[in-house]
């Protein structure tokens, strides 16, 4: 049902396979008058691109984005913005050992059952390269939000058993290590852990945490279109994500009301919450505090060790997956989490403009 | 943006406030020819209704559902099915102490900021009574699924610190205790915990686990409309939910690829997974294994202890919330989780019918 | 696919069959703070209800609307507004001669082919009574628009061969005759024509014209969500409509560019069009002139004369349709055209608020 | 609100401006397994491209389509199909006389009012070149339909005052003249009329008629998603269309029930209609007869004669539009009508697969 489409007002459609001609996205519904150039988008894509450290694949791709429409004289025109990244690494590969085999942890089997066949080159549509479209579109949504004072920052919270420590949290540090961990000591421990895993041809999972600041109270629609519900869908739509929690999340399930409730208070005349166990939403609507949520990523399914599986002919076989594979997805997924967050918040924010008659009347009296 | 609407093909719109005239839902897109009577829906509503134990509110409501349209001669006609539950407990209340005060942990503040004012009676639209519409519609979706051999079963997995034990798991037991815990020993421990909390005017959170059996491989759309992403949204849209995880969920983030990957094998000629760390989806598409996921519920925010807050006049005040409030939401939420799951799976299942040209050609050759 | 749902931001879902329990609608996405009472909606329903003249059916229904949710203290709350009209005329009827026969010009055959069976009582869901839901929702949309200075007025333009004359056009007159014709002379001629048709057990078609004043320039989205394209769908969705045209419509196809182009000029400093061949849209976006469009209604298909048809057993049979049937649908459809117009314009108007970054920035700087 | 998106299951998003980098479309939701190559799409684009006769613009563009994704080994994979046509005619132009002036009959003024500014090069997004995306996507939808035995054929019915004659109707003839008129005599008269108009720097409107054969009964959803209502929106979304009618259309408004009702009969055991005044729908659902509808196109607004208008500085000015402009849009719009019809019918056809429980059960029993 058109699964590659996202959003209601600020809507995107992504396309492209790992080893096809290219990857792209069309953004339909971006407001007119936003200053936008390819550099704005490229900066986001550069954060997700491979080959940045020994823990990310060596594939050296340019991943250069081109704006094909919707921008004139340096500003968005209100019409669809088409963005495209041509694949440059299209060497012919030998897929002999995987084209007919279902790789464990991958979508090979489910795509075959759903569609009858699949583009087996590099995972086709279910490859992580699919996220290029999301990130490119997310860069635009984030720019809309920034112009309204809303900022999104995600980072690596844990890799395998290694977590950042609240005491050592240093937002500048995340830009200094390639794991995007805002804690130098944790980053070193995580590097050691990953090296050990690579030595035994294994991979690790991890957790990304994301914080949104500056979001006004009132964003999100009651019942089914809650802000946190939409964020959950946005985040779970990222390939390897297996869990989402906002505020205290699963820990809240073990807590009590007297602890978990955030008391309201006044600060310089404005209502504020004294704590933020809720993670920034009440009843699914932003409450004026920072949004804080986490995404659990499973370990990279592509590992070099031998694995038991089945092929399309219905035979049990053993498979070894060769080639370039990150032992951890998380560092490159940080920007994807930010992109999906930007797309979700931007869409719901625009919708919230029509919540009240008095706002609408004021708007059209202009 | 029409936040009370859910689904694409099997679509619902819910309505109603806690202390208004009634609560209801319209189901638009239910296939024709499903045998359906009020008893089918009432059975689901009875599971969520209050007053069933000392841990659920004493409010004795009939919550009798009426089918107003879309059913003729005992079968659905393919046109919208309107379901309605009139509120019978509409005694005039004294809302003096809460109508102008923002209850901590509730949506009072955010509704005010979004809409400028709110129906303060019993929480209005943000009350748990809103779920009546979801459950009524979910009963229909579940009946569609059952006719295809797909069954949904949720239960209480934990209450505060008390979790069920895999060794003592007994599916029959959940029907014997009012906490819907499939483990008699855990249920007793949880009861003791809740009584202690009630004594000190506090409340507890908990976790609901849900299992879907019989779902064929191939349900869910790649990229943004993944089955698990849609489930995450569906579950997070339930009032007090703060987290969602599928399969190993957050534990997968601490695992390794060699452990977390589910090997494929053959069983009586059919492809199967040897384990189910994935929780039944690969690449967001059902993989033929059971769907298994969990929802984290925060503690009931309404507690009788004194809390610090603010009123609409911008004064800091202390509030005590009187009246009937469950010390735990989870047991009554079990059926709500099932309902949202049924609505989500049913919608994506119908969509999956048009995945392949050969299926479509075969269908229209009939 | 949920065919009874309409709108994106201001969204409605209608339900109900001719001879079922009732008819209703839920409006999801109405802004908060609109003053609304049952009388606002009843006034619209009264205009479509039967039994107003000898040309409309004698069925004396109350068609009393009840607001079940979404309004508190006389104002909309921003949450779904459920409206319901219980059917009072549910006498048991003898459908013996039509329950198995496909009435020519009706949807009996197509419903049977689509759904396998149908509610044959009074046309079921395909009855004109379905429009009660549209009209009730349209009354709310129209009230939103009126508060912004936008007014919608439809009227009967022709009945069979009898058309109103531009020279005799008198807006007050339409309220004086039961045919809603703003031309007393044409109304008399049309009455005579209808009496003649009734005498020979036949029926007439006609044309409704609609005018929207006060709509600002800029409403409607380019390409697929043009204002006129949405109006065309809205109007063609009304049961008996077979054609739609805006501005000069089909006459424009016979015209030339030099005649059909509307010159721009200035009036008191504001840009205006010197003529309005376009009917108020350019490129599918409102151009500041009045919207003017027409809907062609086919003759009432229920006629008392004998007709050739087929029954469900696959036999050719002759049918005579007894009972109360208007010889003309048009006068009662005038308010339905207004309702669909209000719903369409309101939805697109709210969407247009997010067209420009500067407007969005200004809004959130508030 | 994302106006460049169309469809629910078979969904498209188009992009591109007249003189930008290119024009394209992404098709999301096309079933897997359809044989598809660039030639399938190019054949459709060639029918709309300019420079085919003296009545179409001389601009010699290749308009070569490229498939960028969603096709593997010659078949669709079920994932998004990105199609792109790079603009080859991007010579720098002098827009001095139109960049600040509102051309009568064009969307210059409304785009400015909506977005604050616009891409004035060649009409930008409101140019007829926008239809390349629709036609490319429509070619795919048509191929899906053809594999089910459903064929779509549109043609020029009238140009200005010159109409085809039912007696001389010859389907082969439309391929022989460049006006796509299936009547050689009418084509000659229309050519003479157009030459006369060109001589006096004027332009003509016209009517396109479209016929869909082989569509089974049961396609279209009651109430708001009627097949004819969706066709009306699809057709009115084409730039210059001002009217839509199905079956007898506006003529039905002047007819009587005894004439306009189509009697049912039996033919070789199957139910059929003896006439087709309805144009193939009853109650908005396909009735098994051919779909027959018409679209009224206004005259090309770009004419070389002097016209009165206003510029962005608020001055009344006179404008003369130079350059290449067809004196008639209709012949090149024939394929656009077919494309929009294919997209609409395909989407509703896929939706109709889930109308009945028995069909769904049969499908999943496979």
Candidate from B299-308, C147-156, D93-102 with smallest mean pLDDT? D93-102
Please tell me the predicted confidence (pLDDT) of residue C57.
Answer: 58
A245 in contact with B, Cβ within 8 Å: yes
Contacts of C17 in chain B (CB under 8 A): 69-70, 72, 77, 79
Q: Is A298 annotated as a binding residue?
A: yes
Neighbours of C, requiring at least 3 CB pairs below 8 Å, are A, B, D
As a whole number, mean pLDDT of residues B20-40 equals 97
Please tell me the predicted confidence (pLDDT) of residue A66.
Answer: 97
Q: Which residue of B has its CA nearest to D29?
A: B355
Cα separation of D290 and D154, whole Å?
13
Please tell me the predicted confidence (pLDDT) of residue A323.
Answer: 76
Q: Do residue C357 and residue A216 have CB atoms under 8 angstroms apart?
A: no
Candidate from A251-260, A317-326, B172-181 with smallest mean pLDDT? A317-326
As a whole number, mean pLDDT of residues C100-120 equals 95
Candidate from A4-13, B84-93, D74-83 with smallest mean pLDDT? B84-93
User: How far away is chain D from the Cα of C345, in angstroms, using its nearest Cα?
Assistant: 14
Please tell me the predicted confidence (pLDDT) of residue D123.
Answer: 87
Residue A49 clears pLDDT 80, i.e. is over it? no
Cα separation of B296 and B291, whole Å?
17
Q: Do residue D109 and residue C287 have CB atoms under 8 angstroms apart?
A: yes
Please tell me the predicted confidence (pLDDT) of residue C126.
Answer: 92
Q: Is A76 annotated as a binding residue?
A: no
Q: What does DSSP say about strands D81-86 and D151-159: parallel, antiparallel, or unpaired?
A: unpaired
Cα separation of D203 and D159, whole Å?
10
Residues 18-57 of A with CB under 8 A from D: 20-24, 26, 28-29, 32-33
Please tell me the predicted confidence (pLDDT) of residue B41.
Answer: 97
Neighbours of D, requiring at least 3 CB pairs below 8 Å, are A, B, C
Q: Burial code of A11-42, b = ≥16 C-beta within 10 A, e = fewer?
A: bbbbbbbbbbbbbbbbbbbbbbbbebeeebbb
Q: ipTM score here?
A: 0.96
Residue C131 clears pLDDT 90, i.e. is over it? yes
Please tell me the predicted confidence (pLDDT) of residue C49.
Answer: 66
Under 8 Å CB-to-CB from B263, ≥6 apart: which residues?
Answer: A104, A307, A308, A309, B273, B274, B275
The mean pLDDT value of chain C amounts to 93
Please tell me the predicted confidence (pLDDT) of residue D365.
Answer: 87
C95 in contact with A, Cβ within 8 Å: no
When CB atoms are compared, the residue of B4, B8, B81 closest to C28 is: B4
Share of chain A above pLDDT 90, in %: 85
Q: Burial code of C197-217, b = ≥16 C-beta within 10 A, e = fewer?
A: bbeeebbbbbbbbbbbeebbb
In angstroms, what CA-CA distances link D318 with A91, C262, C265, D94, D323? 58, 13, 10, 18, 17
C2 in contact with B, Cβ within 8 Å: yes
Domain tally, chain D: 1
Q: Which residue of A has its CA nearest to B116?
A: A356
Residue A151 clears pLDDT 70, i.e. is over it? yes
A5 in contact with C, Cβ within 8 Å: no
The mean pLDDT value of chain D amounts to 93
User: How far away is chain A from the Cα of B353, in angstroms, using its nearest Cα?
Assistant: 9
- φ, ψ for residue A67 (rounded to 5)? -90, 120
Share of chain A above pLDDT 70, in %: 94
As a whole number, mean pLDDT of residues C54-62 equals 59
Please tell me the predicted confidence (pLDDT) of residue A88.
Answer: 82
Contacts of C354 in chain A (CB under 8 A): 9, 29, 31, 350, 353
Contact in structure between D109 and C264 (CB atoms under 8 Å): yes
Please tell me the predicted confidence (pLDDT) of residue C365.
Answer: 87
User: How far away is chain D from the Cα of B89, in angstroms, using its nearest Cα?
Assistant: 36
Under 8 Å CB-to-CB from C124, ≥6 apart: which residues?
Answer: B72, B77, B79, C17, C18, C19, C20, C111, C118
Residue numbers of the domain that contains B94: 5-365
Contact in structure between B134 and B352 (CB atoms under 8 Å): no
Under 8 Å CB-to-CB from A42, ≥6 apart: which residues?
Answer: A64, A65
Please tell me the predicted confidence (pLDDT) of residue B57.
Answer: 58
Q: Do residue B31 and residue D353 have CB atoms under 8 angstroms apart?
A: no
Please tell me the predicted confidence (pLDDT) of residue D52.
Answer: 59
Calculate ∠ Cα D1-D3-D7, nearest 5°: 110
Please tell me the predicted confidence (pLDDT) of residue D94.
Answer: 66
Please tell me the predicted confidence (pLDDT) of residue B53.
Answer: 63
Please tell me the predicted confidence (pLDDT) of residue A90.
Answer: 60
As a whole number, mean pLDDT of residues B11-35 equals 96
As a whole number, mean pLDDT of residues B10-22 equals 95
Cα separation of D136 and D342, whole Å?
11
Please tell me the predicted confidence (pLDDT) of residue C94.
Answer: 65
Q: Do residue A363 and residue C361 have CB atoms under 8 angstroms apart?
A: no
Q: Which residue of D has its CA nearest to B79?
A: D222
Candidate from A229-233, A243-247, C123-127 with smallest mean pLDDT? C123-127
Residues 60-89 of B with CB under 8 A from A: none
- φ, ψ for residue A63 (rounded to 5)? 50, 55
Please tell me the predicted confidence (pLDDT) of residue B335.
Answer: 97
pLDDT category of residue C26 using cuts at 50, 70 and 90: very high
- Give the position of tokens 């830009």: A175
Q: Which residue has the higher pLDDT, C213 or B323?
A: C213
Q: Burial code of A81-101, b = ≥16 C-beta within 10 A, e = fewer?
A: bbbbbbbeeeeeeeeeebebb
When CB atoms are compared, the residue of D4, D77, D115 closest to A119 is: D77
D137 in contact with C, Cβ within 8 Å: no
Please tell me the predicted confidence (pLDDT) of residue A54.
Answer: 65
Please tell me the predicted confidence (pLDDT) of residue D321.
Answer: 87
Residue among B366, B147, B356 at smallest CA distance from C116: B366
Contact in structure between D208 and D339 (CB atoms under 8 Å): no
Please tell me the predicted confidence (pLDDT) of residue B90.
Answer: 60
Cα separation of B4 and B11, whole Å?
11
pLDDT category of residue B323 using cuts at 50, 70 and 90: confident
Residue among B245, B239, B247 at smallest CA distance from B286: B247
Residue C164 clears pLDDT 70, i.e. is over it? yes
Please tell me the predicted confidence (pLDDT) of residue B123.
Answer: 87
When CB atoms are compared, the residue of A4, A84, A111 closest to D28 is: A4
- Span A176-232, pLDDT tens digits: 998 999 999 999 999 999 999 999 999 999 999 999 999 999 999 999 999 999 999
Residue A126 clears pLDDT 60, i.e. is over it? yes
- Span B115-147, pLDDT tens digits: 999 998 888 999 999 999 999 999 999 999 999
* Residues of chain D falling short of pLDDT 70: 1, 49-61, 89-94, 96
- φ, ψ for residue C39 (rounded to 5)? -60, -35
Share of chain B above pLDDT 70, in %: 94
Residue C47's domain is classified under what CATH number?
3.60.150.10
Under 8 Å CB-to-CB from C349, ≥6 apart: which residues?
Answer: A364, C145, C148, C150, C215, C219
Residue C79 clears pLDDT 90, i.e. is over it? yes
Q: Which residue of B has its CA nearest to D360?
A: B350
């Amino acid at each position: 049902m058109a699964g590659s489409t996202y959003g209601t007002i600020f809507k995107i459609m992504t396309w492209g396979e790992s080893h096809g001609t290219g990857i792209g996205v069309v953004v339909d519904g971006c407001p007119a008058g936003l200053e936008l150039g390819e550099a704005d988008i490229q900066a986001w894509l550069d954060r997700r691109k491979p080959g940045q450290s020994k823990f990310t694949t060596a594939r050296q791709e340019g991943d250069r984005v081109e704006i094909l429409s919707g921008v004139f004289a340096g500003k968005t025109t209100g019409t669809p913005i088409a963005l495209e990244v041509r694949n440059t690494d299209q060497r012919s590969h030998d897929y002999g050992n995987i084209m007919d085999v279902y790789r464990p942890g991958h979508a090979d089997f489910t795509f075959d059952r759903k569609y009858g066949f699949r583009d087996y080159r590099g995972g086709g549509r279910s490859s992580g390269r699919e996220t290029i479209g999301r990130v490119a579109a997310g860069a635009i949504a984030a720019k809309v939000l920034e112009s309204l004072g809303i900022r999104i920052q995600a980072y690596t919270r844990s890799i395998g058993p290694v977590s950042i420590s609240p005491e050592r949290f240093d937002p500048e540090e995340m830009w200094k290590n390639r794991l995007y961990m805002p804690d130098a000591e944790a980053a070193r421990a995580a590097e050691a852990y990953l090296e050990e895993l690579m030595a035994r041809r294994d991979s690790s999972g991890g957790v990304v945490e994301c914080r949104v600041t500056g979001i006004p109270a009132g964003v999100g629609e009651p019942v089914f279109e809650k802000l946190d519900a939409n964020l959950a869908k946005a985040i779970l739509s990222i390939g390897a994500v297996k869990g989402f929690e906002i505020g205290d999340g699963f820990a809240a399930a073990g807590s009590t009301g007297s602890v978990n409730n955030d008391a309201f208070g006044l600060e310089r005349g404005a209502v504020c919450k004294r704590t933020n166990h809720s993670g920034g939403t009440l009843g699914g609507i932003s409450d004026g505090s920072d949004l804080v949520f986490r995404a659990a990523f499973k370990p990279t399914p592509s590992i070099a060790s031998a694995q038991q599986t089945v092929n399309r002919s219905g035979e049990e076989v053993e498979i070894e997956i060769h080639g370039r594979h990150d032992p951890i997805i998380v560092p490159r997924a940080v920007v994807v989490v930010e992109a999906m967050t930007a797309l979700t918040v931007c869409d719901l924010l625009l919708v919230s403009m029509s919540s009240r008659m008095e706002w609408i009347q004021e708007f059209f009296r202009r």
